[in-house]
Copies of this chain bind each other. A is one copy, B any other.
Amino acid sequence: MANWKLLLINGKTNLINLDLEIIDIPNFGRFPSESLLNQKHNSDFNFLGKNCRLIDYKLIDIHSNLKRGPQIISPKDIAWIVYKSGLQPGDLVVEAGSGSAALTVALAQSVAPEGQVITFESNLKHIKIAKSNIEMSPWNDLVHIQKEELTSKSDFIESSAIVFDLPNPQDLVKWSWKSLKIGGFLICYLPTVNQVENLLSKLDSWSDVEINETMQRAWRPNLSALRPESMMLGHTGFIVSARRTR
């Protein structure tokens, strides 16, 4: 079980699990979680000499505190995939593979409070990390980790959207067609152009086939020297989307 809260310490955010016995916050302190249990939420209180407050957290707090494992899809891409998926409260979405589950928790939020995410992952190490990250989400209960590889032979799953972050999505295009509700989107995240080519060659029957890449540039919020950051992510992945309309 998990009972996550955002602990503000003099305005700095710390995502903590109140169900752990001991909470350890670098540059602040190590203390039993008990000492916070009686604090009223959404109100200031003094704790270890600092002004503190316990509040609910947001998706962005989960993403800032993910346990690191396999390469994490970047926020700019998560934002686009969720938008493009068209997912609504109550929908069922299939994801493969789970990876670090950064996308999984975003998908869960998009179908909350009553939808479902079925996420396939066969790598045991990834499953462990994914599980631990999904537990941070308030929509934990909406996610089902299917501990196996999704293959073209897997049972079809009637779904509103299907999202793939795996090397060979072209092998799952037929499976996706059969599984997707008419009107639903298949969305694939692909680092290389070769993968885009392989996938594209299988999308003849699909509608609204789009390939997009998103570049995001952060600026330094410095009023007297306003400029973009020097380094940026020049590439993460191409996002191919296609819609089943027949």
Contacts and interface: CB of A to CB of B under 8 A. Distances in A.
A163 to B, nearest CB: 14
Q: Is the interface of A mostly helix, strand, loop or mixed?
A: mixed
Nearest to A228: B235
Interface in A21-36: none
A3 interface: no
Interface of A: 6, 8, 10-13, 42, 51, 53, 55-61, 75-76, 78-80, 82-84, 86, 88-90, 106, 109-110, 112-113, 138, 181-183, 185, 191-194, 196-197, 200-201, 203, 207, 209-221, 223-236, 238, 240, 243, 245-246
Given A213-B219, A214-B215, 16 more contacts: A42-B182, A59-B86, A61-B86, A82-B82, A88-B112, A88-B138, A113-B113, A200-B221, A200-B226, A210-B221, A228-B234, A228-B235, A230-B234, A231-B233, A232-B234, A232-B235
A191 B110 CA distance: 28
A11 B234 contact: no
A75 B86 contact: no
A177 B70 CA distance: 38
B218 A217 contact: no
B216 A213 contact: yes
B236 A55 contact: no
A192 B197 CA distance: 12
A229 B219 contact: no
Given A58-B88, A79-B82, A218 B228 contact: no
A215 B218 contact: no
Given A183-B56, A230-B233, A231-B231, A79 B88 contact: no
16 contacts: A8-B182, A8-B245, A12-B207, A51-B246, A58-B185, A60-B84, A79-B83, A113-B113, A193-B197, A196-B219, A200-B221, A210-B221, A213-B228, A217-B234, A231-B234, A232-B232
